[in-house]
Amino acid sequence: MWVLLALGSALLLILFSARLRWPQTLGYLAGTGVLVLACAAGPSHGALALFEAAVSRSTLSFVASVFSVFVLSGQLQESGALRQLASAASRRIRSDRARAAVLPAIVGLLPMPGGAVVSAPMVEECAVGTREEQHFTNYWFRHIWEIWWPLYPPVLLAAKMADVPLISFSLMLAPLMLCMAAVGVIWILRRLPATTEEWAGAGSMTSVMGAIAIMLAGVPVLGVMEPRVHMLPADWHVAFAVVPAVLFLVWRHGSAALWRTLATQRLWALVGMAASIKLFGAMVSGSGAAAEATEVATRCGAAWSAVLLLPLLAGVVTGNTVAAVTMSFPLVAALPLARSAGDDPRLLIFAVAYASSFAGYLLSPVHMCFVLSARFFGAETMCGLARMLVPVGAWSACAATWFVFWYFLNATA
């Protein structure tokens, strides 16, 4: 129980770091230190777990991927490509608030860590609403695909661990994207000023859409090549896929934008924060807090309560859907309810579990996209998370309605 109290203290420390006027990176590192000291196996074991996490292939590939994505984002901004994209979009989408939602949704097609940083400058260029409203618009619409898009690693992983067909699993979750878009329109877009403005200048989507297309093609190609040629480090597909996109932008706009991006202090501050978030997430597992938290949740009640609570808790404490699926799905699969289920009930059980983990992920104080987007727009993390309760609750109610409807539809078929 002590390690759970330490986890709660660490999360509060992170949430209040902004009020204490600490750099947020320092808040995450302080929270990591608390978990090291409270490690169930002792502080020395916690220190060893932290060291192993810091030098692990997973952490290094994550930091490399984040760094490359941030470089691409900065290059798109410094070269004026984002301005051109927004200008081109204004000719097709006259509403500023609709454009502010569509642009991060386009970026959301890319399965990359910290993608909200890529879309944040696009939303900023639209200049609609307050900085806080821009943050919520960017964060919400950036993630509408992740609940079902088959290219996203957590969807692939969830279907594999649940032992259900990927296409069936994705289609089961697809209506939840529509629910998320509807909630975003009602909760976010309707509050923004209903302005229409066509920007001056021709504008072009070539640079941004070309870079996105290169990345979309590169990630699966590298994933197929890696086990065959044994030359690419595992899990570095995103980092390597960004390289040709960066070179494409250099060819289109010259190298000056790339050097300006590498010289900005914000780039290195964001990379440092991303690394600190990754280390904190690793210590949630390494300290024994994750295992103890899931054990407590398992004892909370009926089987369906565990199906909902385990993934939800995993999503909140990790802020990462891959980690949440990895942590909670084996426990869900071990429940008698899941072991004795047929094909259709099993599909429903794990779809509910994934949706629950996604809700926790959206509300997590260590969700990198939320933290980095809030930092970009100067929004406060703690108040932002409190405001997220309403839209996530509304989306969860829509999801529950869909699952109940699907159950009765298949029960009567």
For residue 385, tell me if it sits in a domain: yes
pTM attached to this predicted model = 0.69
What local confidence, expressed as pLDDT, does residue 397 receive?
A: 96
Task: Name the band, by pLDDT with cuts 50, 70 and 90, for residue 76.
Answer: confident
Quote the DSSP letter at residue 215: H
pLDDT band at 358 (very low <50, low <70, confident <90, very high): very high
Average the pLDDT over 406-413 and give the result: 78
Domains of the chain: total: 1
- What tens digit of pLDDT does each residue of 315-356 get? 887 787 877 887 778 777 767 776 666 678 889 999 999 999
**Above 50 in pLDDT, residue 229?**
no
- Considering only CA atoms, which of 92, 78, 178, 85 is closest in space to residue 123? 85
pLDDT band at 402 (very low <50, low <70, confident <90, very high): very high
The Cα 52–Cα 166 span in angstroms is 33
CB 335 within 8 A of CB 345: no
Is there a domain that residue 328 lies in? yes
Q: Is 315:357 a contact under the CB 8 Å cutoff?
A: yes
**Parent domain of 165:** 2-191+202-411
Confidence of residue 95 (pLDDT cuts 50, 70, 90): confident
Q: Which of 2-6, 62-66, 74-78, 359-363 has the highest mean pLDDT?
A: 359-363
188: three-class secondary structure by DSSP: coil
Closest to 67 (Cα-Cα) out of 283, 246, 332, 253: 246
Q: Is the pLDDT of residue 362 over 90?
A: yes
Would you say residue 197 lies in a domain? no
The beta strand positions in 145-247, using DSSP E, are none
For residue range 25-61, list pLDDT tens digits in order.
Answer: 787 788 888 888 887 777 888 888 888 888 887 778 7
pLDDT in tens, 231-266: 455 556 667 777 888 888 888 878 888 888 888 877
> Confidence band (pLDDT; 50, 70, 90) for 198?
low
Residues 6+ apart with CB under 8 A from 41: 288
Q: Give the mean model confidence (pLDDT) for residues 212-222.
A: 64
pLDDT attached to residue 230: 47
Q: Are the C-beta atoms of 120 and 138 separated by less than 8 Å?
A: yes
Q: Is 338 within a domain? A: yes
**Of 154-158, 187-191, 287-291, where does mean pLDDT reach its minimum?**
287-291
In a domain, 196, yes or no: no
Helix ranges (H only) for 79-115 are 81-92, 96-107
